[in-house]
Chain A
Amino acid sequence: DVKVTQSSRYLVKRTGEKVFLECVQDMDHENMFWYRQDPGLGLRLIYFSYDVKMKEKGDIPEGYSVSREKKERFSLILESASTNQTSMYLCASSWIVAGQTNTGELFFGEGSRLTVL
């Protein structure tokens, strides 16, 4: 089974702190994603990475950055946490679809619930 592991299920941070959310997948997926989940808003894409050191902004990248130094690991960084970044953060991974026959489904981690006080 595909396993996507997020380092922390629950975090509480103070405004202005630097926050790291880590995600590791074990299926050699090329793609990795960070989504933010808020009630009534569904899942919104923050950043997407299709290869090591490659990244692409999603719909809501402001206030976030990412790092992908190894294929299996994708980190989300909040340089200076703010209260409006209190949310559930979901990491996902998938195989690349270009030239392939897979349907591009995402495999998700369990989520990291971040509270910024």
Chain B
Amino acid sequence: AQTVTQSQPEMSVQEAETVTLSCTYDTSESDYYLFWYKQPPSRQMILVIRQEAYKQQNATENRFSVNFQKAAKSFSLKISDSQLGDAAMYFCAYRSGDTDKLIFGTGTRLQVFP
């Protein structure tokens, strides 16, 4: 069975600095998708960034980028120029190409200090 591991329960960063959140996954599939979701306090979960496994190029969305290491089964999220609004729970998620269901990691709580 596929699993998703987020080994950092909590992280903190100074405003305007860069932080990297780690995620590893275990799968024997070759066709899959990876996601980072953000859950601000008391607000709904939103998609931050997605990566298709067949794409070698790392996905980027403004200040958010991923480091996708397929052989190492690693999918880390880099947040550049951190802002106070980035403070949230971040969840890594995996979807096999042959299913509609996502498997989530346990989450990383990010604090941003002024």
Beyond A41-B106, A42-B106, A103-B50, whether A109 also contacts B44 by CB under 8 A is yes
Beyond A109-B44, A110-B43, whether A104 also contacts B100 by CB under 8 A is yes
CB-contacts of B63-109 with A (<8 A): 91, 95, 97, 99-102, 104-107
Bound form: Cα–Cα A45–B54 in Å: 26
Q: Chain B interface secondary structure, helix, strand, loop or mixed?
A: loop
Bound form: Cα–Cα A4–B37 in Å: 16
Size of the A side of the interface (Cβ < 8 Å), in residues, is: 27
Bound form: Cα–Cα A83–B53 in Å: 41
Which of under 10, 10 to 19, 20 to 34, or 35 or more describes the interface residues of B?
20 to 34
Q: What residues of A have a CB within 8 angstroms of the CB of B105 in the complex? A: 42
Beyond A42-B106, A42-B107, A110-B44, whether A96 also contacts B9 by CB under 8 A is no
Bound form: Cα–Cα A103–B94 in Å: 11
Query: Are B100 and A42 in touch, CB under 8 angstroms?
Result: no
CB-contacts of A75-109 with B (<8 A): 90, 92, 94, 96-98, 103-106, 108-109
Spell out B's residues near A (CB within 8 Å): 6, 9, 33, 35, 37, 43-47, 50, 52, 91, 95, 97, 99-102, 104-107
